[in-house]
Amino acid sequence: GENVEQHPSTLSVQEGDSAVIKCTYSDSASNYFPWYKQELGKGPQLIIDIRSNVGEKKDQRIAVTLNKTAKHFSLHITETQPEDSAVYFCAAPGGGSQGNLIFGKGTKLSVKP
């Protein structure tokens, strides 16, 4: 089955700096890679996703890149703000149904003012 590894587990940056979180996956057939943000006391919320037919996707200060050959994908946040502080999860399809995602262990991002 699919296995997703996420690094780093914690990341601290100064406001205005960039943050990069990396994930690797094991199943070369995986074709969908979402990123979720979880704030304290809340459920995860999708912030961006990418399908395997594209190599990069951007949405304002957030971008995701995908390298299918190396089986890794990354989240890039530019011009970080204190409200970006949260736990970020990458994921890949677990198979069998739409709702089955295999999540990475998460990255706790702290943005210092």
Partner 1 sequence: KAGVTQTPRYLIKTRGQQVTLSCSPISGHRSVSWYQQTPGQGLQFLFEYFSETQRNKGNFPGRFSGRQFSNSRSEMNVSTLELGDSALYLCASSPYMDPRPGELFFGEGSRLTVL
**Residues of the shown chain interacting with partner 1 in the complex, contacts defined by CB under 8 A:** 31-32, 34, 36, 41-46, 49, 51, 89, 93-94, 96-106
Work out how close the CB of 51 gets to partner 1 at its nearest, in angstroms, rounded to a whole number. 8
Asked if residues 57 and 46 have their Cβ atoms less than 8 Å apart, the reply is: no
- Nearest residue (CB) to partner 1, 17 versus 32: 32
- Nearest residue (CB) to partner 1, 13 versus 94: 94
Work out how close the CB of 31 gets to partner 1 at its nearest, in angstroms, rounded to a whole number. 8
* Per-state percent for the chain, helix, strand, coil, to nearest 5: 5, 55, 40
Work out how close the CB of 43 gets to partner 1 at its nearest, in angstroms, rounded to a whole number. 3
| Closest by Cα among 44, 49, 37 to 107 | 37
Residue type, 101: L
